Amino acid sequence: MQQACVLLLQDVFAVKVKRRRAAGQQSGGAVLGLALFCCRRREKRLEEDTVHLHNASSEHTHTWYNKLKELLTGFSSRPRYLKVFINPSSHKKEAIHIYREHVAPLFKMADIHTDITVTERKGHALSVIQECKLDKYDGVVCVGGDGSVAELCHALVLRAQLDANCPEEPVKAVLPIGIIPAGSTDVVSCSVHGVRDPVTATLHIVLGHLQQVDMCSFSSCGQLVRFGFSAMFGFGGWSLAHAEKKRWMSSSRRREYALVKTLAKLRSEDCQLSFLPAKKTNLCLSGHQDQDQVEKDDPVSEGNESWITKQGLYLNISVMSIPCLSPHAPKGLAPNTSLTNGSALLITVGKASRSEFIKHLKRYNSSSGQFNFPFVETHSVSAVKLHPFSLAGCSEESEEEGDAKEAPTILSEGVALPWNIDGELLEIESEVLIRVHSRLITLYGEEVDEAESTTSCNCF
Ligand SMILES: Nc1ncnc2c1ncn2[C@@H]1O[C@H](COP(=O)(O)OP(=O)(O)OP(=O)(O)O)[C@@H](O)[C@H]1O
């Protein structure tokens, strides 16, 4: 006996008339009914499925076909024409293959037309976005890793700002972005899909699932550096700087090498850190406070803004406006950070011994508790100012346990320090101002609480 099932039209992305055809026959043939191409959910994964409706009457079949087509074109968020960027150099150089194999067939089935650019160098996508006519497209698709995604998101927001002739304030990007993961970590893709899966990502695009997402602006000396989702300073910046020197290694080996090297030369940065607590919810997930840090508890008002300022030695400072989920950190580098609440999670890691710091890092890979250390603080913020001093708590030479607690040594003035902004290395000399901008960009996907964990990090 056949089982009845319910298929929601919102999950259907194409309808075709089925005909009986002889081998090699291109057209005509007796009508057999309809095929509905739809999406099925398996936890966070979206999978393609087909439902067959049998009916030998050509008239009935075409009545159903025309009505279903009309209903499907009524979904206004579904794209018809997409600008696609493919980074052929991402991760294992599989982006073009991933696009051809998993993405293009679904776009074709859903009657989505594409205009494809295979990027040739860093900054290529940015220059195309700056010059092309955007209003003919319904969305942009990025096939690549986090660096490519960050470049495109930055490009679209910058373009919106230029088009609006509004240099002072960020302007919401006019086109949504679909992200087909082809990188090594893919935290932005994981944060809106919950899995690193090109089919899931494509089906979110095809079905027009739109998710608004907060972004940050990063500026220094009054100049915009870029728009992005996350930044790490200290351990995260140095680790990326070490990794970039070994581009010839595979990305997993490079990441492991950089982690080990940065841990061996664990250093803390002497900084003045100011932040603007997010309105209403100033989440302090751990509540722990480093006693050695000089803290001005009373907020200092600048205009209508009340900044809290601290000074001290930090092993790492992260600011993340999205949860940064990945298979390595299923709950995210910034767990419970909503994509749309207009705030970011500030995570500060103060002085700690190497073994304590490793314990903190390892907990990202398991379930929780990564903030339950006396040297870790978290705050929900809407802006952060980070002023590194030329004095740095530095233990570059020694590799003994507890190095990071040693006395600071003096670095020369004007030294540019590494920042990891969305996985891209930026070297910045002076104070950096980070502001969170609510719902600055729209991504194809949805809010998810946790990523599917397919790998475990064996770096330690
Ligand atoms: N043809 C190309 N050759 C070299 N670099 C490119 C090319 N096209 C784009 N890029 C640049 O490569 C950088 C990294 O790209 P991407 O993040 O996609 O790959 P990845 O670094 O291997 O992945 P992940 O960040 O996940 O490790 C981006 O800044 C992008 O601008």
Q: What is the pLDDT of residue 402?
A: 42
Res. 422: pLDDT tops 90: yes
d(CA 77, CA 56) in angstroms, rounded, equals: 34
- Are the CB atoms for 448 and 193 separated by under 8 Å? yes
If one counts every other C-beta atom within 10 angstroms of the C-beta of residue 123, the result is: 12
- Work out which ligand 1 atom sits closest to the CA atom of 87: 8
* C-alpha of residue 271 to centroid of ligand 1, in Å: 31
| Residue keyed to tokens 């006019």 | 174
Condensed to tens digits (0 to 9), the pLDDT of residues 224-276 reads 999 999 999 999 999 999 998 888 888 788 888 999 999 998 989 999 999 99
Condensed to tens digits (0 to 9), the pLDDT of residues 189-231 reads 999 999 999 999 999 999 999 999 999 999 999 999 999 999 9
CA distances from 167 to 132, 174, 424, 442 (A): 20, 16, 24, 21
Residue 220 tokens read as 């220094």
Position 410 confidence tier, pLDDT thresholds 50, 70, 90: very low
DSSP E strands: which ranges in 267-369?
269-277, 294-302, 305-320, 344-350
CATH of domain 223-437: 2.60.200.40
Q: What is the pLDDT of residue 300?
A: 63
Collapsing DSSP to helix, strand or coil, 447 comes out as coil
Q: Domain-by-domain residue ranges, the chain? A: 9-73, 81-208, 223-437
Across residues 333-344, what is the average pLDDT? 92
- Are the CB atoms for 36 and 51 separated by under 8 Å? yes
Q: What is the pLDDT of residue 367?
A: 62
- Work out which ligand 1 atom sits closest to the CA atom of 424: 29
- 81-208, superfamily in CATH? Probable inorganic polyphosphate/atp-NAD kinase; domain 1 (3.40.50.10330)
Res. 98: pLDDT tops 90: yes
> Residue 94, exposed/middle/buried by CB under 10 A (0-12, 13-18, 19+)?
middle
pTM of the model: 0.88
Condensed to tens digits (0 to 9), the pLDDT of residues 145-200 reads 999 999 999 999 999 999 999 888 899 999 999 999 999 889 999 999 999 999 99
Q: What is the pLDDT of residue 363?
A: 85
> Nearest 5°: phi and psi at 214?
-75, 150
* C-alpha of residue 412 to centroid of ligand 1, in Å: 32
Condensed to tens digits (0 to 9), the pLDDT of residues 56-85 reads 999 999 999 999 999 999 999 999 999 999
Q: Which residues line ligand 1 (CB under 6 A)?
A: 87-91, 119-122, 124, 144-148, 151, 183-186, 251, 423-424
Q: What is the pLDDT of residue 273?
A: 97
Q: What is the pLDDT of residue 303?
A: 65
Q: Which residues are within 8 A (CB) of 60 and not within 5 positions of it... i.e. 6 or more apart?
A: none
Average model confidence (pLDDT) for the chain?
88
DSSP 3-59: PP----GGGEEEEEEEEE--TT--S--EEEEEEEEEEEEETTEEEEEEEEEE---HH
Domains 81-208 and 223-437 alike in fold = no
If one counts every other C-beta atom within 10 angstroms of the C-beta of residue 22, the result is: 7
DSSP 210-238: EEEEEEEEEEETTEEEEEESEEEEEHHHH
Position 302 confidence tier, pLDDT thresholds 50, 70, 90: low
